[in-house]
Amino acid sequence: MKKKRSIVLFIAQSLDGYIATKDESLEWLMKIEGEGDNGFSEFYETVDTVIMGKKTYDWLMKQDIQEFPYKDKECYVFTSSVVENTENVKFVNDDVTHFIHNLQAKDGKKIWIVGGGELLHSFIQEKLVDEFIITVAPTIIGNGISLFREGDYHLELSLKRVRNFNQFVELHYKKRR
């Protein structure tokens, strides 16, 4: 299979590696003083496809949003249940590698894996993530939902860039070939 585009994780975590508290709060993250939109729109321009796990989707739909934030992209939500597609989202219950390889065989921009940790775990085990852009908040929350889960994997990355948005540090890594 010829891979025509890459999979990028773009996510924020606490200094101790959590993406949300156990009760799914992101309050600790929202109150950090960043700069502009902390590189989000610049990154968002580079993708045309958005992928997330069902818990991240459910969290998003519980927020006070006027409209679906990724309306202008192709959006897929992984779930083991059968859920009817919406105007904005296609629900996927497929082998992750098979699904991603099909997407990557098509021309287009990059593919964003939004999270959360559980879906990312399947992607990491299959070595599907080409780039990791992790924005670190200057907060230690002690426990919560981990970005990385324990498993039998080993990935070697190279550091592409480090920059800061006021109190946030953005780490950008690429998978080594």
Kindly state the DSSP code that residue 33 receives in the 8-state scheme. -
**CA 107 from centre of chain:** 21
Shortest Å distance, C-beta 106 to ligand NAP: 20
Cα(9)–Cα(124) distance, integer angstroms: 10
Shortest Å distance, C-beta 133 to ligand NAP: 11
> Which one, 96 or 169, has the nearer CB to ligand NAP?
96
The pairs formed by 68-77 with CB atoms below 8 angstroms and a separation of 24 or more are: 73/47, 73/48, 73/49, 73/112, 74/48, 74/49, 74/50, 75/49, 75/50, 75/51, 76/49, 76/50, 76/51, 76/52, 77/51, 77/52, 77/53
Q: Which amino acid is at 135?
A: T
> Which one, 5 or 137, has the nearer CB to ligand NAP?
137
Shortest Å distance, C-beta 107 to ligand NAP: 25
Shortest Å distance, C-beta 177 to ligand NAP: 25
> Which one, 46 or 99, has the nearer CB to ligand NAP?
99
User: Which residue's beta carbon is nearest to the bound ligand NAP?
Assistant: 116
> Which one, 29 or 75, has the nearer CB to ligand NAP?
29
Shortest Å distance, C-beta 77 to ligand NAP: 8
> Which one, 78 or 132, has the nearer CB to ligand NAP?
78
Shortest Å distance, C-beta 93 to ligand NAP: 6
Give the closest residue to 113 by CA, choosing from 22, 19, 16.
19
Q: Which amino acid is at 8?
A: V
Q: Could you list the residues that contact ligand NAP (CB under 6 A)?
A: 11-12, 19-20, 24, 26, 29, 52-56, 59, 78-81, 93, 96, 114-119, 122, 145
Give the pairing type, strands 168-175 and 157-165: antiparallel
> Which one, 46 or 156, has the nearer CB to ligand NAP?
46
What is the rounded (10 degree) CA torsion for 135, 140, 154, 49? Answer: -30
